[in-house]
Amino acid sequence: MQLVRTILVIVVFYYLIRFLSRVFGPMLIRYAAKKAQEKYQGPYRGNTAYNNGQQRREGEVVIDKASGNTKENRTSSPGKKVGEYIDFEEVD
């Protein structure tokens, strides 16, 4: 009797999961697609030239100065010696 009850619980659980996945599956997929779209569009929303309605002419050069706290500026300063240059020559 216990075996039949266990098999019945497994079958009911299986069909319950199938039913819930059909009901809530499309909503979950839509939510995941929306989040992925927001993630990949995020960097493009920061383009101030198009957000403010200011379009730049073709060939115009604009230099945006970065703050001095970037990792590149901290590790590679012009006066800091990073290593020694060794000139290798090929020997036959």
Alpha helices in the chain (DSSP H): 2-45, 48-51, 71-75
For residues 60 and 54, what is the distance between their CA atoms, to the nearest angstrom?
13
Range(s) of the domain holding residue 40: 1-44
Which DSSP symbol is given to 80?
Answer: S
pLDDT of residue 64: 72
Confirm whether 72 is domain-assigned: no
Domain total for the chain?
1
pLDDT at residue 43 in the model: 64
Residue 21 lies in a domain: yes
Asked whether residue 7 is domain-assigned, the answer is yes
Model pLDDT for residues 34-49, shown as the tens digit of each residue = 999 888 887 666 555 5
**Band of residue 59 on the pLDDT scale cut at 50, 70, 90:** confident
- The Cα–Cα gap between 13 and 17 comes to 6
Whether residue 10 lies inside any domain: the answer is: yes
Q: Which residue has the tokens 């200011």?
A: 54
Considering the domain boundaries, does residue 27 fall inside one?
Answer: yes
